[in-house]
Amino acid sequence: MKVDRRRFIGVSAATIGALSFPISGCARVLGAAESHSKTGLIFHELYMWHNTGNHAGPVPYGNPVQPYAHVEGPESKRRFRNLLEVTGLTDHLYMIKPRAALESEILRFHSAEYIQKLKHLSSGIGGDAGPYTPMGTGSYEIALLSAGGVLAGLEAILEEKVNNAYALVRPPGHHALADLGLGFCLLGNAAIAGLHAFENFDLERIAFVDWDVHHGNGTQAAFYNDPRALTISLHQDKLFPLDSGSHQENGVGPGEGYNINIPLPAGSGVGAYKYAFEQVVLPALHNFKPQLIIVPSGFDAGAQDPMGRMMMHSEGYRSLTKMIKDAAKLHCQGKLLMCHEGGYNPTTVPFDGLAVIEELSGISTGTVDPFAPVFAELGGQELQPHQKAMVDKASILLEKLPATYVR
């Protein structure tokens, strides 16, 4: 089918022509009975109103640092949402309305003292929830909506309203600790969702696969001694936090063997990420046999992202999404939830995100990413020997992961 050009009133003929593309897959979503993947999308304009204030990138300003914009601003997320709109893809997604997470739901992970701190800062002029985590007036309430958006996506999947979902939320969550904000993250969105699923949907096994360029330390901490959760993080080695994300962090007590870190050398491209998936991520999922997969999805491993030094691009993210979606089909009837984390280049992130949601939904908009051909030709996109060695070191951890036997 073709996108209805009449929707683009006031747009030039040339622009309308460029926006005409075939849509494959399901034409109806809400209440549809088709066998195609039904993909949910969670978004709210208030996510864009979380105020991180004036900084110089991630660094507070003050003489001699001239004020500038904080790197974790709304623009990359808003442009991601806008691209979904102008390509027509949102017309074919199940729009899930976010809700505010209940305090009892976030207290499954966070301490009461930390929540009180967030409330105090949010009711005033804001402040720092922790290292590199500024917040403004009303940010706590927006963080509740962010965590609640992920919960809404989770509930839609587990109640079988959708097959999979992408929660385009802000502020992000995968660095937040039980009693401390960290790395732009106020509440542990993915961790809160996992704990909610364990308590309310009687799940026994959830896998987390974090492909943000920074280590998913908060999600790791939430389940470090919990054998119900397999936590996997692919990230740039020794980037952030500097003191976490090594191969040696493998879980403790009953959770030993259930945490796998795959630190990758700076400069890793699509070849390294695919190899890591093939050699570690997919075998780990096969051993664990999750009933749900949650992906903290950051696009800051993309080439030219200001907060990372990797070389991923939209087609690379499309490939990873296909692999994780296929694994979800094999192990958990396609139950796959993605929640947005990092990604700070406002021009490239929208195309990375579009590729992921196209793959999740099985709908191609025919949109061409103008950045992908350039990034694909960057030197070193293929798997390099030193990258292979790092992944192979992580693959040894598979021997410590107990196999799950399902009748």
Write down the domain spans for the chain. Answer: 47-400
Label residue 30 by pLDDT band (50, 70, 90). Answer: very low
Residue 247: exposure state from Cβ atoms within 10 A (0-12, 13-18, ≥19): middle
What φ, ψ does residue 395 adopt, rounded to 5°?
-65, -25
Label residue 407 by pLDDT band (50, 70, 90). Answer: low
Does residue 363 contact residue 24 with C-beta atoms inside 8 Å? yes
Is the pLDDT at 384 greater than 60? The verdict is yes
Q: Which residue has the higher pLDDT, 402 or 20?
A: 402
pLDDT at 26: 34
Q: State both tokens at 80.
A: 């991601």
Residue 127: exposure state from Cβ atoms within 10 A (0-12, 13-18, ≥19): middle
Q: Which amino acid is at 292?
A: L
Give, rounded to a whole angstrom, the gap between the first and last alpha carbons of the chain. 43
What φ, ψ does residue 295 adopt, rounded to 5°?
-115, 105
Which among 172, 216, 153, 168 is positioned nearest to 353, based on CA atoms?
168
Q: Which amino acid is at 321?
A: T
pLDDT in tens, 176-196: 999 999 999 999 999 999 999
Computed over every residue of the chain, the mean pLDDT equals 91
Label residue 96 by pLDDT band (50, 70, 90). Answer: very high
Label residue 404 by pLDDT band (50, 70, 90). Answer: confident
pLDDT at 208: 99
Stretch 128-138: mean pLDDT: 97
Label residue 32 by pLDDT band (50, 70, 90). Answer: very low
Label residue 35 by pLDDT band (50, 70, 90). Answer: very low
Q: State both tokens at 305.
A: 């992202």
- Check if 175 is active-site: yes
174, 175, 215, 313: the active-site residue: 175
pLDDT at 37: 67
Is the pLDDT at 19 greater than 80? The verdict is no
Is the pLDDT at 339 greater than 90? The verdict is yes
Q: Which residue has the tokens 């030993």?
A: 256
- Cα torsion 75, 132, 183, 118: sign: negative
Q: Give the integer Cα–Cα distance in Å for 100 and 154.
A: 14
Which run of H or of E encompasses 293? strand 292-297
Is the pLDDT at 380 greater than 90? The verdict is yes
DSSP E strand boundaries for 87-239: 94-96, 127-128, 134-135, 164-167, 206-210, 229-236
Q: State both tokens at 321.
A: 């999404």
- Looking at residue 101, the DSSP 8-state letter turns out to be P
What φ, ψ does residue 326 adopt, rounded to 5°?
-65, -40
Residue 285: exposure state from Cβ atoms within 10 A (0-12, 13-18, ≥19): buried
Which of the residue ranges 33-47, 140-154, 302-316, 345-359 would you say has the lowest mean pLDDT? Answer: 33-47
What are the residue ranges of helices labelled H in 203-288?
217-222, 270-276, 282-288
Nearby residues of 145 by Cβ (< 8 Å), 6 or more positions away: 44, 46, 47, 98, 99, 100, 101, 169
Residue 104: exposure state from Cβ atoms within 10 A (0-12, 13-18, ≥19): exposed
Which among 406, 373, 347, 402 is positioned nearest to 83, based on CA atoms?
347
Return the percent helix, strand and coil in the chain, to nearest 5.
40, 15, 45
Which among 333, 336, 365 is positioned nearest to 166, based on CA atoms?
336
Is the pLDDT at 27 greater than 70? The verdict is no
Which of the residue ranges 6-15, 214-223, 225-234 would you say has the lowest mean pLDDT? Answer: 6-15
Does residue 144 contact residue 230 with C-beta atoms inside 8 Å? no
Nearby residues of 313 by Cβ (< 8 Å), 6 or more positions away: 270, 302, 303, 348, 352, 369, 371, 372, 375, 376
Does residue 276 contact residue 188 with C-beta atoms inside 8 Å? no
Label residue 406 by pLDDT band (50, 70, 90). Answer: low
pLDDT at 403: 84
pLDDT at 36: 52
Is the pLDDT at 34 greater than 70? The verdict is no
- Is CATH 3.40.630.30 the classification given to domain 47-400? no
- Looking at residue 211, the DSSP 8-state letter turns out to be -
Label residue 8 by pLDDT band (50, 70, 90). Answer: very low
